[in-house]
Amino acid sequence: MAHHLNTNKQFMKGTMIMAFAVIVIVVLFLYMSMRTDWDPNKPKTYSTQYEICLSQGFANDSIIVMMGDSTLFSGFVANEPMVINVQRFEENTTLMFVDPRTETVSIVDLSKDGGKFDVGRQGSSVKLLTKPSAK
């Protein structure tokens, strides 16, 4: 007597195993998503501190200092060095310096670790004078 392969039965078993695997994966992802503390209305907070020191070329001139879309300082710098302390408040850690007279914009990238940043004006652009040091 010949032993016949029952392909329908094998196909049904394979389909059941795949369906069971998909159900296990869906349940696993649902469990993981329920465990996360996600609230879209809760603002993200950071503990990083920045100390921005305007140390060269800013005396007796106006400057606008911005981080992202927020203005940190806008006004006249009477004497140097001028220190701006700020706590990181957004994901983007880029400083923008705007000269109101010439409307030139200089961009300085900050590290996500924080620290002290000495910046100076060289011509019409603003640059980091020293590498950032951790606080």
Residues 108 and 117 sit within 8 Å (Cβ to Cβ): yes
Task: Compute the half-sphere exposure of residue 91: CA atoms within 13 Å on the CB side of its CA.
Answer: 2
Asked, for residue 42, whether it belongs to a domain, the answer is no
Asked, for residue 85, whether it belongs to a domain, the answer is yes
Residues 50 and 92 sit within 8 Å (Cβ to Cβ): no
What's the rounded Cα separation, in Å, for the pair 129 and 18?
A: 61
Residues 129 and 56 sit within 8 Å (Cβ to Cβ): yes
Asked, for residue 34, whether it belongs to a domain, the answer is no
Tens digit of each residue's pLDDT (9 = 90 or more) over 105-130: 888 888 778 888 888 887 777 877 77
Residues 115 and 127 sit within 8 Å (Cβ to Cβ): no
Q: What is the DSSP pairing of strand 61-67 with strand 94-98?
A: antiparallel
Asked, for residue 59, whether it belongs to a domain, the answer is yes
Asked, for residue 64, whether it belongs to a domain, the answer is yes
Tens digit of each residue's pLDDT (9 = 90 or more) over 30-41: 998 888 777 777
**Domain span at 82:** 49-128
What's the rounded Cα separation, in Å, for the pair 116 and 135?
A: 7
Asked, for residue 134, whether it belongs to a domain, the answer is no
Tell me how many domains the chain contains. 1
Asked, for residue 3, whether it belongs to a domain, the answer is no
Cis check for the bond before 132: say yes or no (omega within 30 of 0): no
pTM: 0.61
Asked, for residue 53, whether it belongs to a domain, the answer is yes
Position 104: which residue type?
T
Tens digit of each residue's pLDDT (9 = 90 or more) over 39-77: 777 777 778 888 888 888 888 888 888 887 888 888 888
